[in-house]
Amino acid sequence: MSVIAFIPARGGSKSIPEKNIKSFCGKPLIFWNLQELQNSNADNIVVATDSEKIKNIVNSFNFSKVSVYDRSNENSQDISSTESVMLEYINSKSLSDTDTFMLVQATSPFTQKNHFNEALELFEKHDAVLSCCESKRFSWRDGKSLNYDIYNRPRRQDFEGTLIENGAFYISSVSDIKKTKNRISGDIATYKMPEFTYTEIDEPEDWIVAESLMKKFILKDKTPDFSKIKIFLSDVDGVLTDAGMYYTENGDEFKKFCTYDGMGFQLLQKTGVKVGILTTEDRELNRRRAKKLGLDFDFHGAKDKLQIVKDLCAKENVSLDEIAYIGDDVNCFELLSNAGVSACPMNAVSKIKSIPNIIQLQKNGGDGVVREFVEIILS
């Protein structure tokens, strides 16, 4: 008997384009559920999608339990039901009737591994489990109250409230799903989650609210300690520039830098943080830019970036935990994986975005992304 977590992730979202992979608190939205499921008691995690882009991003996370299922076009339409793709997968893979099937929705990113595990334990005593949260809102319909006596209005703290579905997950057996063609049936238990988890991401306005809730309730203890940063370093091409290489008719090379990034370095220096660039290329124009900005360090022709920074740490008597670094490509991978605080532009390559705890910024390289990172640190 296996526990299969199943996440439908259709590519065609109209209200929020590419919703499932849009950056949410620095990671693609679908990442958050996949991360918690990877650390939960689920045996296999399946993302059912019709999108190559979603498929590539999910695979870039390199979660060992996660696989991608190519759902049919028939069950990827606006009118397609979630049950239709569930049954498609169950039948195509000939799952055992005794397997546990947990439908998880990426639009509910607040679910933690303990929620999944506790609900799976509850499922052992029931035919199905669905996630709910308690609402202490007074409900009405057609001029009549639905859940309280208007002549004896309770205080909120004394009001039992009602349980409402938050859409996070639904658990059932494969046999019951096949028999009823529904996600839950029979003796259904409710697993209660915190009230803030009622927020689902279906409209652009929901996104703003959900990110605020995520930062307040989920990420509050996972935010890097920016106060300990002593040295701030940046890659050049693809971070301080747009990664373009421009040439004149005479063969002269030039690059476009963003002045906002230059001010970002200065703002950090005013707080006592030393700043610098670290680039694989050895170009005179990069040296001139570093000199104009008055950087504390500039490393050129850097083949082993991590070793260079380790040597710098020894010289400056600081640790890697006190280094902040922003990079965008595979030659930055080792340093980004070991620095105390790491970040990347929105258009960084997938391998870089998949680094655990990396901050995925909203701007592209050359568009002021270093300034964006600096402002996060200073705030």
Angstrom CA distances, 194 to 159, 164, 299, stand at: 16, 11, 49
* Cβ contact 294:307 at 8 Å: no
- In single-letter form, the type of residue at position 331 comes to N
CA distance 328 to 312: 21
346: Cβ–Cβ under 8 A, 6 or more apart, which residues? 23, 360, 361, 362, 363, 364, 369
* Cβ contact 92:66 at 8 Å: no
* Cβ contact 198:135 at 8 Å: yes
Q: Select which of 10, 137, 141, 153 is catalytic.
A: 153
User: Can you read off the two tokens belonging to residue 167?
Assistant: 């859409």
3-class DSSP assignment, residue 342: strand
17: Cβ–Cβ under 8 A, 6 or more apart, which residues? none
Helical pair 259-270 and 369-378, crossing angle rounded to 10 deg: 20
Sign for the pseudo-dihedral over CA of 255, 261, 263, 268: negative
183 is catalytic: no
Where do we find the tokens 């105390």?
A: 340
Count of beta carbons in the 10 Å neighbourhood of residue 74: 11
H-helix segments, the chain: 29-38, 52-60, 82-92, 113-123, 174-180, 204-213, 259-270, 284-293, 305-316, 333-338, 350-353, 369-378
* Cβ contact 263:378 at 8 Å: no
User: Can you read off the two tokens belonging to residue 372?
Assistant: 């964006």
**Catalytic amino acids?**
153
